[in-house]
Amino acid sequence: MEHTSPLTAFTPDMFMRNFAEAEPGLSRKGAVEESNRCLYCYDAPCIKACPTGINIPSFIKRIATDNLKGSAMTIMESNPVGASCARVCPTEELCEGACVLNDASAPIQIGLLQRYATDWAVNSGVQLFKAGIPNGKRVAVIGGGPAGLSAARELAREGFAVVVYEAKQLAGGLNTHGIVSFRLPQSISLWEVEQVEKLGVEIRTGIKIGVDVTVEELRGEYDAIVLAAGMGYVPPLGIEGEKLSGVYDAIELVETTKTGIPTLELMGQRVAVIGAGNTAIDAATCSVRLGAANVKMVYRRTRSEMTAYDFEYEFAKQEGVEFNWLTLPKRIVGDELGNVTGLECVQMKLTGETGKDGRLKPVPVEGSEFVMPVDAVVIAIGQKRRTGLIESLGLEHDSGIVRIDPKTGRTSDPMIYAAGDIVFGSGNGEAMVVSAAQQGKDAAYAIVKQLSGLQDGVIGSAV
Ligand SMILES: Cc1cc2nc3c(=O)[nH]c(=O)nc-3n(C[C@H](O)[C@H](O)[C@H](O)COP(=O)(O)OP(=O)(O)OC[C@H]3O[C@@H](n4cnc5c(N)ncnc54)[C@H](O)[C@@H]3O)c2cc1C
Ligand code: SF4
């Protein structure tokens, strides 16, 4: 892509160009040809590899026969955020990784086909599903991200009156605010929100549970609660200099680029991004597109321990991001005006010893301290847990990870179910949009069972 020159000012046009969706998607001819490569396997392994169990051969067959509504419905039936997932799922580790054609030639491009079908639905304005007959029961959902929307949709299809409480002004969670728009435009996430709203789900935005509405009020008003509040911003690193001007939280940085013209510019700046997960990659590539002259990722371990996916790593390299492995930040250096001028680091080495997490332990190399000259530092070392909210609900947790029954999402309080990032961590799954969507569904089905006495949830019906 063509980036803005570091010497020019950032104009709205340049912003549109740098932050528009990078992947062009398939043409009709390309989609039909790709669909016709599918072997439509009996007992298809890709279905099992998709956390939401989308009937992949079925949606692909419908593309081949030009039934795009049917195709989109097959996808969205299993995955209420299927249009977003088409863009952000690590497909090579999930559905495409399981495709039998991996051994013969190349896997079917399931993500791109999923995008082709769901784009049709987004552009046609069609409403795919309808609400169930009201059953008189009420459910509150805390958080309007993928997990909360998914739970809300399935409950609405079963006739529950659902209210989603969302702290931000727009629902959609990290799909709307956190994942860079050149991979996932906000409009796609907002279409998914609208699909849920059109089922009669009330989405009360700008309302923070525990602040604007109390937990006691929720308990009094609803028959069940789904806690899907995700995680927070990035925790502090705990090193000197974090309050300097030019130090940014990675998630906040990405967020400024999702909602329009960013308030932040990195034109011509040298940027260090601390971390090596999804958030760090998104922050690094975002910094490039915000006009940074040079972006370095700083990570205390090596490439093999980084948690970002391969496709993200490759994308970042293509964008010109540099990687500084085995480098530990010690202090952010500033000038007398309080602006960042450097990042003091120490070189690390692997000892061959493994830590509690099974990964090789890095240790500092004595006397190897150096200062990396930078104008901005972006901290991307994970996300804070929502311990305050969890404790105000009186739920059992492990360092901010809500304890649940993994099949149903039921918490230590039988009235409250939890789903999504708020239950991920410490080996308990991986924070992905598609898993959050499935957990939201699981919580909804468990509530249906608990409140309706149904045995199993064949939920809702299509329009
Ligand atoms: C930068 C970044 C990049 C990522 N990239 C990918 C990717 O490429 N692929 C992928 O699969 N996953 C990716 N992820 C992870 C993915 O975004 C999350 O796993 C997913 O969004 C979790 O969904 P959720 O609904 O649990 O939480 P969230 O999406 O965080 O939604 C939770 C919602 O709850 C709201 N909320 C919080 N507290 C309250 C309260 N007290 N009252 C009311 N509302 C509240 C929040 O405002 C938020 O909207 C990425 C994450 C980040 C941060
Ligand atoms: S939701 Fe994700 S894992 Fe499932 S089929 Fe679609 S792209 Fe693959």
Q: Does residue 75 have its Cβ closer than 6 Å to ligand 1?
A: no
Cα 456 to chain centroid distance, Å, stands at 29
pLDDT for the residue numbered 16? 79
Q: Which amino acid is at 256?
A: T
Q: What pairing do the DSSP bridges indicate for beta strands 270-274 and 294-298?
A: parallel
Q: Does residue 147 have its Cβ closer than 6 Å to ligand 1?
A: yes
Ligand 1 centroid to Cα of residue 39, in Å, is 35
pLDDT for the residue numbered 429? 64
pLDDT for the residue numbered 393? 97
Q: Does residue 208 have its Cβ closer than 6 Å to ligand 1?
A: yes
Nearest residue by C-alpha to atom 35 in ligand 1:
143
Q: Does residue 409 have its Cβ closer than 6 Å to ligand 1?
A: no
Ligand 2 centroid to Cα of residue 73, in Å, is 14
Nearest residue by C-alpha to atom 20 in ligand 1:
433
What parts of the chain have a pLDDT lower than 70? Answer: 1-10, 260-263, 426-429, 454-463
Q: Where in the chain is the domain with CATH 1.10.1060.10?
A: 24-124
CA neighbor of 248 nearest in space, from 260, 258, 237: 237
pLDDT for the residue numbered 11? 74
Residue with tokens 């608990």: 450
Measured from the alpha carbon of residue 81, the closest ligand is: 2
Q: 33 forms bridges with which residues in the sheet?
A: none
Nearest residue by C-alpha to atom 3 in ligand 2:
50
Ligand 1 centroid to Cα of residue 175, in Å, is 7
Q: How many helices (DSSP H) and strands (DSSP E) are in the chain?
A: 18, 18
The domain over range 247-379 is classified in CATH as 3.40.50.2000: no
Residue-wise pLDDT tens digits, 324-364: 999 999 999 999 999 999 999 999 998 878 877 777 889 99
CA distance 348 to 369: 10
Q: Return the CATH fold of 24-124.
A: Fumarate Reductase Iron-sulfur Protein; Chain B, domain 2 (1.10.1060)
pLDDT for the residue numbered 74? 98
Q: Is the pTM of this model over 0.85?
A: yes
| CA distances in angstroms from 97 to 86, 87, 111, 154, 313, listed in the order given | 15, 16, 11, 28, 17
Ligand 2 centroid to Cα of residue 108, in Å, is 12
The tokens describing 145, both together, are 């991200």
Give the binding-site residues of ligand 2, using a 6 Å CB cut-off.
50, 52, 54, 56, 79, 82, 85-86, 89, 91, 94-95, 110-111, 114, 434
CA neighbor of 437 nearest in space, from 150, 204, 63: 150
CB atoms closer than 10 angstroms to residue 141: 34
Q: Which residues contact 462 (CB under 8 A, 6 or more apart)?
A: 73, 77, 128, 129, 130
Ligand 1 centroid to Cα of residue 155, in Å, is 20
Are 445 and 459 spatial neighbours (Cβ–Cβ below 8 Å)?
yes
Nearest residue by C-alpha to atom 8 in ligand 2:
95
pLDDT for the residue numbered 10? 67
CA distance 280 to 250: 7
Q: Which residues contact 284 (CB under 8 A, 6 or more apart)?
A: 271, 273, 295, 297, 316, 319, 321, 378, 380
Classify each residue of 152-169 as buried b or exposed e, where b means 16 or more C-beta atoms within 10 Å of its C-beta: bbbbbbbbbbbbbbbbbe
DSSP of 226-263:
EE-----SPPP---BTTTSBTEEEHHHHHHHHHSSS-S
Q: Does residue 145 have its Cβ closer than 6 Å to ligand 1?
A: yes
Q: Does residue 193 have its Cβ closer than 6 Å to ligand 1?
A: no
Q: What pairing do the DSSP bridges indicate for beta strands 397-398 and 129-130?
A: unpaired
Q: Which residues contact 36 (CB under 8 A, 6 or more apart)?
A: 64
Please identify, by atom number, the ligand 2 atom nearest to the C-alpha of residue 79.
1
Written out in words, the top-level CATH class of the domain with range 129-232+384-462 is alpha beta
Q: Where in the chain is the domain with CATH 3.50.50.60?
A: 129-232+384-462, 247-379
Are 289 and 182 spatial neighbours (Cβ–Cβ below 8 Å)?
yes
CA distance 154 to 149: 9
